[in-house]
Amino acid sequence: MSRPLTAVGALIACAAAWPPVFAAADPADPGTAPRALVHRSTLAARAASAPPETAPGDWRAANERVRAVGGWRTYLREAHAPEPVASGADGGTR
């Protein structure tokens, strides 16, 4: 019975001796310096990890390519077209 009490006592002693690291300064005290604001951009990490080929290119050339293949309606038809049936060794039937 003394072991659990000793462990609990040691835990309480450690908690009481722990420095108040997480204690916040009194916001009502005018002498307290405010905490420094830190800004971390979520987009900076994305830009740093992006491969170089995702860099924006010449938008006029991209628009010309879309016009040459038939415009956005061509891409829409491709998106809604049925999937082609794969013909394998079994002729595509099961």
The predicted model scores a pTM of 0.29
Rounded Cα distance between 4 and 12, Å, is: 12
Question: What range defines the domain where residue 77 resides?
Answer: 58-82
Both tokens of 13, joined, read 């002693």
Q: Are the CB atoms for 52 and 58 separated by under 8 Å?
A: no
**Tell me, what's the pLDDT at 19?**
57
Does some domain include residue 38?
no
Please give the single-letter amino acid code of residue 41: S
Q: Is there a domain that residue 32 lies in? A: no
- Domains identified in the chain, total number: 1
Is the model's pLDDT at 1 over the cut of 60? no
What span, in angstroms and rounded, lies between the C-alpha atoms of 24 and 55? 44
9 found inside a domain: no
pLDDT digits (tens, 9 = 90+) for 9-27: 776 766 666 555 556 677 7
